Amino acid sequence: MTRSDASRPTRILVTGGAGFIGSHYVRTVLGPQGPGDVEITVLDKLTYAGNPANLDEVRDRPGFAFVQGDICDPELVGKLMAEHDQVVHFAAESHVDRSIDGGAEFVRTNVVGTHTLIDAAHRAGVKTFVHISTDEVYGSIDEGSWPETHPLEPNSPYSSAKASSDLIALSYHRTHGLDVRVTRCSNNYGHHHFPEKVIPLFITNLLDGKKVPLYGDGGNVRDWLHIDDHVQGIELVRTKGRAGQVYNIGGGTELSNKELTGLLLEACGADWDTSVEYVTDRKGHDRRYSVDCTKIRTELGYEPRKDFATGLAETVQWYRDNRAWWEPLKERAAL
């Protein structure tokens, strides 16, 4: 079969598909609400953040395949590109605190890995490459929101490596005409979130009767996006977006870390005085992120559907019901 054979399903290579957002993308697209005309191969190295259990639900679905491997491996990546029509690229080192402890793996995976993938995609004639970037590439903003045209001013080794990969991806559109589409989304939350990140860390600590570590004065503000809405946005960009374009994706719920902590305490039945421990602020901690989502709303009809109260209650319930998923991860990562 050739790439131009319109009668067969679209073959999508999903990198990082065993992680938090990538696995939700795969479960959704291959699930009953999915488009129905796609096959997915997940390419994932299974780092500490990759979990094969996240894909149990789809493992036996027709059209699903899993390849354990590194996006920095040109031979493997070249072979896979030749067999796929589209790429949705999630794979990355994703934890800011780890990048502050050491940025080398972030440069390797996020920068070199993205270049390896996109260069192979160009050479193999892949039709569409969706690069999952982040709002953190814009830096920090005290007031207002960033449109997609705002200059990139990243601050952490994580966001700087993501900004580099974002620009490398766009350069393949401008230089080679490859159909590259970039999404820059805000902070995601939901089930299957690795318990080093603030929401699952706080929930699981509180469920265990432990304290939660609140950075600095707790005044840092983030926009929260439920993974269902993120996947909705990515699918709109993959199926209806335009080549060479960047799309911000947000959830519309801005909260300071202090406000978020209050909601999590309430949801877990814990109180502030016995459960919150103020800790030294993260180095270079960005104060506020806020994306302007006018473009994806007006151009592609994106609308976040999950209200934060419902999404958070469901997420807390999932962690209550799924100790077998997160307890070994916390133990292994000494969290």
Contacting positions for ligand NAD (CB under 6 A): 15-16, 18-22, 44-47, 49-50, 70-72, 90-92, 94, 109, 113, 132, 134, 162, 185, 187-188, 194
Q: What CA–CA distance (Å, rounded) separates 165 from 112?
A: 8
Q: Rounded to the nearest whole angstrom, what is the least distance from the CB of residue 21 to ligand NAD in the complex?
A: 4
Q: What CA–CA distance (Å, rounded) separates 331 from 335?
A: 7
Q: Rounded to the nearest whole angstrom, what is the least distance from the CB of residue 239 to ligand NAD in the complex?
A: 19
Identify the active-site residue in 135, 223, 235, 286.
135
Provide the sign of the torsion angle of the four alpha carbons 198, 200, 206, 208, taken in this order.
negative
Q: ∠247-238-65 over CA atoms, to 5°?
A: 130
Q: In the annotation, is 135 catalytic?
A: yes
Nearest to 286 by CA among 166, 186, 168, 189: 186
Nearest to 260 by CA among 97, 297, 268: 268
Q: Rounded to the nearest whole angstrom, what is the least distance from the CB of residue 36 to ligand NAD in the complex?
A: 24
The continuous run of DSSP H or E covering 115 comes out as helix 114-124
DSSP bridge partners of 40? 12, 64
Q: Which is nearer to ligand NAD, 116 or 275 (CB)?
A: 116
Provide the sign of the torsion angle of the four alpha carbons 72, 49, 302, 111, taken in this order.
negative
Q: Rounded to the nearest whole angstrom, what is the least distance from the CB of residue 99 to ligand NAD in the complex?
A: 11
Q: Rounded to the nearest whole angstrom, what is the least distance from the CB of residue 105 to ligand NAD in the complex?
A: 8
Q: What CA–CA distance (Å, rounded) separates 79 from 101?
A: 34
Q: In the annotation, is 158 catalytic?
A: yes
Q: What CA–CA distance (Å, rounded) separates 301 from 185?
A: 16
Q: What CA–CA distance (Å, rounded) separates 195 from 205?
A: 9
Q: In the annotation, is 48 catalytic?
A: no
Q: Which is nearer to ligand NAD, 15 or 156 (CB)?
A: 15
Identify the active-site residue in 136, 166, 179, 228.
136
Q: What CA–CA distance (Å, rounded) separates 66 from 52?
A: 9
User: Which residue lies nearest ligand NAD, judged by its C-beta?
Assistant: 19
Identify the active-site residue in 25, 138, 158, 172.
158
Q: Strands, E, within the chain: which ranges? A: 10-15, 38-44, 64-68, 86-89, 128-134, 180-185, 187-189, 212-215, 221-226, 246-249, 253-256, 276-279
Q: Rounded to the nearest whole angstrom, what is the least distance from the CB of residue 186 to ligand NAD in the complex?
A: 7
Cβ-Cβ contacts under 8 Å for 16 (sequence gap 6 or more): 22, 43, 44, 50, 89, 90, 91, 92
Residues known to be catalytic: 135-136, 158
